[in-house]
Amino acid sequence: MIDMGLPSYIEGMTGDKSLSKAVNRGRLLNILREEGSVSRASLAKKSGLNKATVSSQISELIEMGIVKETGTGKSDLGRKPVMLEIAGDAGYALGISIISEFLYVTVMDLTQHIILENIVPVHDVSSEKIIKLILQIIANTTKKLPPSFYGLTGVGIAIPGIVDREGDKIVLSARFNWVNVLLRSRIEKKYKGILHIGNDATLAAIAERECFNRESQDLVCVLIDEGIGSGAYINGSAYYGYNGKFGEVGHMTILHEGPRCPCGNYGCWDLLGSEAALRRNLADAGNGKIPSQEEMLLLASERPLWSRPAFDQFVTYSAVGVVSLINAFGPSSVIINSDVLRASDEMYSNFKQAVEERTINRFPECKIKLSTLGKTAPSIGACIAVTEKFYHTLVIQ
Ligand SMILES: [Zn+2]
């Protein structure tokens, strides 16, 4: 379960029956989500609630379609207990992530299993066109979903840029040249369900932690694609910075006399260590043509002699930036999400070695891992964030 902050329903409640009911229901749902399959007696034991409370809460949750009985479990003595589970297929979350020329679409059920994935090409990254496309995807996905109790529970949207803390406004997406785009109000004109809008790297960090790194209280996730962004967990909570401004690590200075960046700074990490920079360097070293994503990844796996300086530079700048993040945050885990590093074991090994050499006294406490979620990480994180909000709404019903 991710920490989405103190739910608003708790803030408005006093110490009356409705509060204790919501707290008890939340506790039972959390145990069911953690355990997968559990009996009423075991729920009572794990929650500390009495059997009558558990029984009446579970009856309500079954009526609400969120919990189901799944047969009998084992027992050494007496009657075999009836086992309970979250009804994963009672509803679905839709996650959409905008990454350069594509929208990555993920649909997950309520137990966080992926049931649908899609990649939609984008020819125009103007906010008008993207909003239109998002609304089309919402409508099409709603039609495609199997029949269920709740249908589409909500939509999560991951944006490469600064998103305000409430997720109402895209303050700046330098990559798409978006400034102060009121995305929420535009989407809500047509879609009335739960809507979570967040920074792509923060949502990627949420996905990495929830899927593979639940033990990490302090985690940094670095997305290296067309640009570079970072999401982080500090003391077990996703970190947003003041008004959602954390994550623009692509604009850390890597070369103080480097080229001018559209952000106003010089020698930003984005300009030197991103995939966009690598593609430019490959074009300069090769036939002058910017390689496509597929061509770049093929080159990364083969690395012909002429391309090696460009890839070596990519590895060096990636490592230099990651070292600064490790030094700044002191995380226990750093997750690197890079298709290029994933394409070559040798390059990833060189990258890891460079990071470890430069931060030698911080290992082995800090683990470096290569993401296995790849470009779907932000859309998976968007689904997880939506599902979490959906569970909050169930608790107060
Ligand atoms: Zn910059």
Domain count, the chain: 3
Mean pLDDT of 168-172: 89
CA distances 191 to 54, 63, 225, 390, Å, are 35, 26, 30, 15
> What is the rounded radius of gyration, in angstroms, for the C-alpha atoms of the chain?
23
Co-location of 221 and 368 in the same domain: yes
210 located within any domain: no
For 150, left (φ over 0), alpha (ψ -120 to 50), or beta?
alpha
Co-location of 391 and 350 in the same domain: no
Co-location of 230 and 357 in the same domain: yes
What spacing in Å lies between the alpha carbon of 153 and ligand 1's midpoint? 37
CA dihedral 132, 133, 137, 138 (to 10 degrees): -30
What spacing in Å lies between the alpha carbon of 371 and ligand 1's midpoint? 25
Co-location of 239 and 313 in the same domain: yes
What spacing in Å lies between the alpha carbon of 269 and ligand 1's midpoint? 7
Co-location of 384 and 252 in the same domain: no
pTM tops 0.85, yes or no: yes
Co-location of 227 and 364 in the same domain: yes
Co-location of 185 and 309 in the same domain: no
4 pLDDT above the threshold of 70: no
108 located within any domain: yes
56-79 pLDDT tens trace? 999 999 999 999 999 877 776 677
What spacing in Å lies between the alpha carbon of 278 and ligand 1's midpoint? 16
DSSP at 89: G
CATH code of residue 54: 1.10.10.10
Question: What is the model's pLDDT at position 362?
Answer: 66
DSSP code per residue over 276-291: HHHHHHHHHHTTSPPP
Asked if residue 364 has a cis previous peptide bond (ω within 30° of 0), the answer is yes
12 pLDDT above the threshold of 80: no
134 located within any domain: yes
Question: What is the model's pLDDT at position 9?
Answer: 47
1 located within any domain: no
Co-location of 235 and 292 in the same domain: yes
CATH code of residue 121: 3.30.420.40
Strands 102-109 and 333-337: unpaired
345-364 pLDDT tens trace? 999 999 999 999 998 766 66
3 located within any domain: no
Q: Phi first, then psi: what are they for 175, rounded to 5°?
A: -65, -35
Give the pLDDT band of residue 16 (cuts 50, 70, 90): low
107-145 pLDDT tens trace? 999 999 999 999 999 989 899 999 999 999 999 999 999
Co-location of 256 and 368 in the same domain: yes
What spacing in Å lies between the alpha carbon of 68 and ligand 1's midpoint? 51
Co-location of 351 and 246 in the same domain: yes
What spacing in Å lies between the alpha carbon of 16 and ligand 1's midpoint? 52
Measured distance CA(300)–CA(307) in Å, rounded: 9
Domain carrying residue 173: 89-205+377-395
Q: Is the CB of residue 141 less than 8 Å from the CB of residue 94?
A: yes
278 pLDDT above the threshold of 90: yes
14 pLDDT above the threshold of 70: no
Co-location of 366 and 230 in the same domain: yes
Strands 91-99 and 38-39: unpaired
Give the pLDDT band of residue 6 (cuts 50, 70, 90): very low
What spacing in Å lies between the alpha carbon of 40 and ligand 1's midpoint? 55
More confident site: 215 or 317? 317
Mean pLDDT of 247-263: 91
